[in-house]
Structure 1
Amino acid sequence: MLRVLYTTLAKSSNLTTTTAAVASMNASSYRKQSTIIKENDGVREIILNDPKARNTLSREVMTSIQEGITKDVQCEDLRCIVISSTGPVWSAGHNLKEIAASSDCGHEIFSQLVDIIMNIYKSPVPIIAKVNGMATAAGLQLAASCDMVVASDKASFAASGVNIGIFCTTPGIAISRVMPRMKSSYLLFTGLPINAQDALAAGLASVVVPEAQLDAETNKITQAIKEKPRAILAMGKAFYYKQLGLSVKDAYDQGTDVMVENINMEDAQEGLRSFIEKRKPNFSKK
């Protein structure tokens, strides 16, 4: 299954967008009722902003997330993307009323989130889930599909669909790729939540900090990303996901070629010179 996922990803060379509204989203801050998208100094933040609805992933919200992930993604000024939220719940997952009212038992709704996730993998910039609150069901799926999860000590994670008779099958695809089987199956079969520290221990979170330090920690990570050459991170990210679907031998064979290509890049040559000359590298950041 893992090989199929990343083979499919490798065959898709272009980021997809789901709505013509992308073309009109040219301001530094773009607001809808349930989301806010803003950009500052190379960092784009997609804020889930409907705490009364527990930041559910409605069709409208998912369209906005897709826009935030794909708009001008090849622009050299964009360095990373953060998905955050307001309120005590990062995201409670799909909007169940929309699923109940759908004529295809939610197929298009589930597929819309899959499209977002595939674009996360294909994005040339790192995408970070900044989690301060509960991420459950499809919200867990979205967080686990990001390149990093930066969580506060108030965060928690659950695959709660099974509690109402809906097994979290697609969230299970995401968490089984970042967590050990015994931990992911615990979430999927029980519907019980785990706290941030347990998520960190299980590989679901990249780092956990006190709630008061979450903004500072996220800023530290985005700043570290911005200091690196964009093209080199993009190359590295693309092959990182590709190699997950390869045999070890094929991964090393192709990875060696990628390393050589990387070494020949201008910023890599500058990095080598700076190391030899014992100075800080002067990267182009492009």
Structure 2
Amino acid sequence: MSLDGLKIGKRDSQLWIEIDRAEKANAMTVAMMEGITSAIVQAGADETTQAVVLTATGEKLFCAGVDVREQSPDGDGARQRERRSHALAALQDAVMVTPVPIIVALNGLAIGAGAMLALMADGCVAVEGSALSLPEIDLGIPTFSGANILTVLGGRALAADLIQTGRRLPAADALNRGLISVVVLRHDLEQSAKQAGEVLGSKNRQAFVDNKRWINRGLRSALEEAREEHARHRAKT
């Protein structure tokens, strides 16, 4: 199945979702986020799907985050910001609660919401030279969600460092901090992501999702708080 900016298809017992919008740095539109969310939710309800792998085309960028330049179909900028916010929240929730494992195959730089997805996934296989980046501060905007995700998963010191400087965290450093699963050569990326999905997908589904729900409870709570703060911040602008 091919949607605008996405390629979605089954590979044996795994669902592969590929972000395919290289001309826009693989930034996600509202429709793309909704499409990814729908595919993940459907995979979770399908007993024949063992895992979901999320990756992207190209060798430089995994995802530049949400496309903030996407125009509202009705010309209402405030409403478009709400649509983006709700679409991203639904996608993040799907990653955190879907009963099948979500594996990110990180083919390049993950920025903003793209980095958040890589961090939140059940597993992340990254190519050498890839990196995570939450550079919103360099655009003059805060990232409450990014700050909370990093604080929960990496600790306050790392969150303060990456969020307040906007610097990139190389995949090798992310691996050493336990934020991603493995770093591989580019020609090994797909096979390594497939293997990661097979390992996690072979576990008892009910036990896996119960553990996942419990593991992610602190992250979900932190994100709810961040979303409330984002909403207050949007109301002021």
Distance in 2, Cα, partners of 1:93 & 1:49: 13
Question: Is 1:80 the counterpart of 2:51 in the alignment?
Answer: yes
Aligned pair in 2 of structure 1 residues 64, 245: CA closer, same or farther (>3 Å)?
A: closer
Question: Is 1:227 the counterpart of 2:202 in the alignment?
Answer: yes
The structural deviation recorded for 1:106 is 1.6
Question: Is 1:181 the counterpart of 2:156 in the alignment?
Answer: yes
Is the 2:43–2:100 Cα contact (8 Å) retained in structure 1? Answer: no
Q: 1:94 aligns with which of 66, 88, 110?
A: 66
For residues 135-158 of structure 1, what are the alpha-carbon distances to aligned partners after superposition, in whole Å with 9 as ceiling and x for unaligned? 011111222121121111121111
Q: 1:43 aligns with which of 14, 20, 23?
A: 14
SS in 2 for 1:77: coil
Aligned pair in 2 of structure 1 residues 242, 170: CA closer, same or farther (>3 Å)?
A: closer
For residues 208-253 of structure 1, what are the alpha-carbon distances to aligned partners after superposition, in whole Å with 9 as ceiling and x for unaligned? 112222122112212223433333323332333347789xxxxxxx
Distance in 2, Cα, partners of 1:140 & 1:219: 20
For 2:66, give the aligned amino acid. H
Question: Is 1:54 the counterpart of 2:29 in the alignment?
Answer: no
Distance in 2, Cα, partners of 1:98 & 1:112: 13
Aligned pair in 2 of structure 1 residues 229, 244: CA closer, same or farther (>3 Å)?
A: same
Aligned pair in 2 of structure 1 residues 138, 44: CA closer, same or farther (>3 Å)?
A: same
For residues 160-183 of structure 1, what are the alpha-carbon distances to aligned partners after superposition, in whole Å with 9 as ceiling and x for unaligned? 111111122222222222112211
For residues 5-32 of structure 1, what are the alpha-carbon distances to aligned partners after superposition, in whole Å with 9 as ceiling and x for unaligned? xxxxxxxxxxxxxxxxxxxxxxxxx101
Distance in 2, Cα, partners of 1:171 & 1:98: 21
* Equivalence map 1:202-281=2 (5 Å): 202-242=177-217
Structure number with higher relative contact order (C-alpha < 8 Å, ≥ 6 residues apart): 2
Distance in 1, Cα, partners of 2:160 & 2:42: 35
The structural deviation recorded for 1:74 is 2.0
Residue 137 of structure 1 is matched in structure 2 by 112
Aligned pair in 2 of structure 1 residues 73, 243: CA closer, same or farther (>3 Å)?
A: same
Flag structure 2 segments of 5+ consecutive residues without an equivalent. Answer: 222-237
Is the 1:76–1:230 Cα contact (8 Å) retained in structure 2? Answer: no
Distance in 2, Cα, partners of 1:142 & 1:228: 22
Residue 66 of structure 1 is matched in structure 2 by 37
For 2:210, give the aligned amino acid. M
Identity in percent: 24
Aligned pair in 2 of structure 1 residues 72, 127: CA closer, same or farther (>3 Å)?
A: closer
Q: From the CA coordinates, give the structure whose radius of gyration is larger.
A: 1
SS in 2 for 1:76: coil
Aligned pair in 2 of structure 1 residues 136, 72: CA closer, same or farther (>3 Å)?
A: closer
**What stretches of structure 1 move > 3 A for 4+ residues in a row?**
242-246
Distance in 2, Cα, partners of 1:242 & 1:173: 13
Residue 227 of structure 2 is matched in structure 1 by none
The structural deviation recorded for 1:81 is 0.7
Distance in 2, Cα, partners of 1:52 & 1:234: 36
Is the deviation greater in 147-156 or in 99-108?
A: 99-108
Is the 2:4–2:32 Cα contact (8 Å) retained in structure 1? Answer: no
Flag structure 1 segments of 5+ consecutive residues without an equivalent. Answer: 1-29, 247-286
For 1:131, give the aligned amino acid. L
Question: Is 1:197 the counterpart of 2:145 in the alignment?
Answer: no
